[in-house]
Each structure stands twice: as structure tokens, then as C-alpha cells.
Chains A and B, each alone.
Chain A
């Protein structure tokens, strides 16, 4: 399986590295070599150990056994600082910004340009950040505080930070999960330049086409073990999937034909000042409605307002004929509404609580007897759904924060599907989920719709929207810009509406 590798010494390498967390053996004897001027992909299902491998490379985790080699000689990184000083820049899977610091300071923490007597040169910091953003083609104000940035913007800041190192090794753990097309291509452009200048790149993504577009070589992990390392040339996506999953995959967007019934969710002229205006739509039973738009278009905000987490200033929301009160999620839930939020770490899960308790949070009505918790019922409910969604865990009592990103996402889904909702709003339901599970989630959404559930799906993954939705709503700058039936929905029509060129587009056509 191993094809001849370049003769040169790898810039950074892992040899036979193992790492366990208690009973979980996240990595077992994995080796990986990164060469100058080469982009290396890391593929594997959720929980395969990709992020753990990266953290071992970056000095966040100390391997239990095995060595890290820098330019061929063993090194021991005692912390992220050591790795950074050795020229390794890392973008972690979950953005780790300082909410109170400005974007520019976030990028240069600990490395700010200085003036005489070691004083920080604030102007230079700002300028350097602005330059980085220009290079990435991103329009962010360097002096804006990081608090309140959308996930996508946060990820962009992380990318800018990693680039600012001019590192010899650039490691990126799912940097594109929250990004849309043009940002991704900009990023790839910059990364290619770096690579051509001699940097080694390690790249993780669950979007296989990105791997093929950017990388030359791929290493596959399964359940913490090394499966293969090989050049990408000559491989197909199916080959890669087979290596990751160990079997062939089913159809990716398994859309079932369903009959649509009465309107289950009706939103009329919903307005939240400064965020979105005059949003009206309805979702019928058995229907999957896609909600598309650019990053920052306000889709998540609409979802949050409908569910009642945010208040709305005007308009009304009806679920199965029942009017909802603004700002009351518990009433919305009682009416049969469920929302799978976009930020699983902050909104979807209580990271310090166990899997069981997290799933249980939405089901007190079912799991209490005479006002007291029924442990058995609570457990059964959690097990049922964790198994149904194939969450990979050791014990139900494990803290959710120790699961891999994709498995966390599954727990969020489990938590909400367990409420047997009539109307399900999913916000980026497959962000960070591997191809196998993604298909699983899609099948699940399809069958839910077939059972008569009304589904509103927000996604930045356009193929997903196009593959799954019966109708596509497109938002642009806080307003509903277009409603496109499935037959007419293509990348062109949706993007045209999303970028505000809908009218012009139609004129031209």
C-alpha cells in the first residue's frame, strides 16, 4: 500500500505514536511523514483520531509511546509553544479565540511587533492583520473584538493566525467546515503558494473533493489505527471512502419522495431589528425545506428566533396552528418544535455533562414519574438514540466533551430527535460529520420527512441543500431573497439569489 516516498527527510514526522484517554485508545502505533512542498491529507471517520494526531504533532498532547521527529531527529514538545517555535502552525478543529481581544491581537498574541523597550507597536499589529486579511481576501476589521464573530469568521481569523507564522509546517484541522466556496478557494490559493514556497501542509476535511483538490498524498486512519499512506493521484473518492469506512458507501443524498401535508410551521413577517426583516415562509408536513444564504445572511438568527431563544420584534410564528410566544423555547418545544443549533459546543451540548444527561435534557416529561427522575427511563431513552445514530462512545456516563467532533454532533441530533418533533429545524446538521455518517443523517432526515415531520434545513453545504431539499429558501442580508422549487434549484440560481443578483440574473435569462 505504501508507495515510494520522496527520499528527502520529512520536516515533521510521527513514528509509531500511541495515545490513550483512559479506556479510549485514540491512536495506536500511527506513523505519518510530512515533506517540504507537499500537501498531505488526513482522512478518517469521526473519532478516527485525526484531531488527536494533530494535537500530538503540535505538542498539545504528549504521546504515550512513539516519537515525534523534527527534521529527522526526535524532539519532545512540552507544549504548543515549543511546536510553534519549531515552525509548526496549527489551526485546531474548534476555533480558540480570545473573545475580549481585538481580531488583530488574536492573531499576534505573544508575538506582537514591538517598538523600543519592548513596547507593543499597536499600529503595526493592526496593519499586519489588515495585510493578512487582504491576502485572504477577507473583509474583517482588525480592531473588532472577536466576541460575536460567526463561526466562519472565527475560522478565518484562525487561518490568518496560522498564516502569520510563515511556518515550515502548516497543520489545518477541518478549516473549511464552516466556510463557503469562495473563501475556501481563496484559502486554497494561499496554501498552494505557501506549499510552493516549501512549506509542508497537513490538511483534514470531511469534504473529499477538497482533499483531492489541494493535496498530493493522503494518510487514512480508522479507529485510531493507521490504514494507509499513498499519493492521491490515481485514487478515486470511492477508494478513499473504502479505506476510511472499511466498506462501500450508499448513496450520499438519499432523497425519499414524500407527500406533503398541511403547513406545520408558518412564519409571517418575522422581524428582529438589525438582524432580519420581514421573513415569511411555511414548511409543510413531509417536506424538507432548505434555507441557503451566505455566511452572515441571518439564517441562524431566524431559526433561533422561531425557536424562541432570541426574541423577535414583529411578526408571528405558528406551529401546527398554535401561535408561539416570543422568547419561550419551552413553549415551542411543547408545540412540537425542535432546533439543532449550529454551534454544538456552546449551544448544542453541555460539554461537561455526560452523554446520557445531555440527551436527557430535552426529555424530562418522558423520564419522570411523579416529579422524580426515573433513572431507567432516562438511560433507555439515551441508549436508544445513541445507538440509532451510531454515536461512538465508551460509556454513556462519559463526558460529552471527550467525544470527537462528529460524535458530538450526533449527540446533539440524538437529543432533539428523541423529542419526536413535528417540526425540526436543523442548522448545519452535518458540519464536521464524516461522509458515512453524513449519509446516515441525510437518510434520517429523509425518513423523518417521510413520517410526516416538517424539516427546515439550514446549511452552508450547497450540494447538501440541493440534494436534500424539496424547496430552497435563500436569504440575503437579513431578508428572504428567493424561493426556488427543487426542480429549478441549481448552484447558479441559489448563489445568484444569495449574492443579491437574483433580479439581474433573471433579467439576463
Chain B
């Protein structure tokens, strides 16, 4: 006997109930809290600062809390609990783990707190809306297209990811593999996915290892800002500089030196400013009753235009921007 996986009833779908009124007035004086994966992480700081600007513009108060480590799930849970205690109106959270925050977030929602996830999602029933930085499919496929162009559509490539458990990374990698199945990439061979755990030193050594194990490697995709930076730093100081192509997701500030010295031709990223702003505006819209998170609802996000909620309560920011030597100096983040 006993309780097994098959006995548990599968609940899914988003945690959405109630009706939305797209024309409801935007409430002021709300308390909106941002809970990034990690405080002091430059990427999240950009996003959250933009969020702050938007929140204040809308006449509400902003607050940022979070753990100083990106893998301190229990810490993140207790922050959700604390925020619930403090009776904030909405939480915008980038989840370190899709499941671990669920109990706490559901408790928060029960207490009337609106929950928006951004950058990194939880399970769909633990939040109302996920603000996605770009569709996972777009991100995965465009990175392959980038690299294919750089290496001339032929040769061995590898992926340098963050932690093995990083949900968004894994989704993108799945789409990369999908994309590679297309006939135009038949000469490209994905030899390995390595994990650098978003740690500079580890990513460094993983890059070295890739190059030693596959001397004919032509290119690397690193869909993580830490990874691409470490890989670029290694390549720029080694004999592989310029010979092995590198692309992926990185911030212009991080990558400027490597684009200019020829280590990296081009890479891409969405604008984290916009991500933060959209998360903030979504949170306020939820609290104002303009949306509830159901598919098909639309809302106006200030100067960013109108957004529509997609399947599973996902709002997508749009296509990523590609940075190269020509345009990189226009971006300062």
C-alpha cells in the first residue's frame, strides 16, 4: 500500500480566479516588493531599479529584499513569508526554485497578495502572471542561429550553462537542440553541455576542459551572463582567441571589452530595464483588478504599450536584442 506518485491528484493550471476589468482605475499607494534571485546581482539590480522607477511613477511604494546567495532557496522562502507578514500588496519574484516557493506563495495569495514572477518562473499555480524576458523558444533558437552564422554553419559546438537545475537554462537548451535538428544545421554537431554553476572560476575551467576535450571545437553558446563572461575572459587570454566563436546571453557592460578586442562577434540579451518595468506594471495591474492572469486578458503598460497574457499566464517581453561591435556603445547596462 502506501502513498505513491500515482495517488496524488494532479492539480495544474494557473491560480487564477475572479473577473478582470481592463478599465479599472490604477490604484495608488500600494506596497510592491521585488524579490530577485539574488540581491547585488548586477542584472537584477538593473531590472529592479527599473521596476522601482515604474512603481514610484505609478504612485506606489517600492521595496527590494532578497538573499545574497543565488541558491539560498530557504532564505527566499522566508522572505516570502516575511513579506506576507508585512502585508505588502504585491510581490514580484524571480524564483530560485520552481517548487520550493509554492507553499509560501500560495499562502501569500491567500492573504490577498498578488504574485508576479519575472525572469525565472515557479510552477504555474503558484503565481498569477509570469513576465517572461523573451519567449524561451525565441531565445533558444536565435542563439543557435547566431553561432551558426559566426562559424559558417559547420563544426562542433558546445554549450556552457549555469547550474544543472536552472529551469530557464534548461528550457532554452531544449529549444537549441530543437533548432539544431533543422536540416540547415546538419554540419553542426553539439558535442557537450557543460555546467559552470554561474561561478566564474568553474565556468573558466569548464571552458578550458571543453577546448581540451574537443580540440576542433568551433563555437560555444553560453546562455548565462556569468558563463559567457568567464568564457570570454578565458578565450581572450588564450590561443583560441578569435578562433573559437562565443555567443550567448550577456550584458553589454560585461562584454564590451571582449567585443572590442575581437574575442566575441555578437551576443544577445533582452533589456533587463524593460523586464523590471513590465514586472512592476503587471503587479500594479493585478492589484488594481485590471487583470487576474487569465489567458487573453490585456493591459496597458504605460509607455511600453499594451501586452496580452498568453497561455499559462505568461506575458512575453519580445525579441531579444543582438549586440555587436557596431551597436554596443549605445547600451549602458
A touches B in complex, CB < 8 A: no
A residues with CB within 8 A of B = none
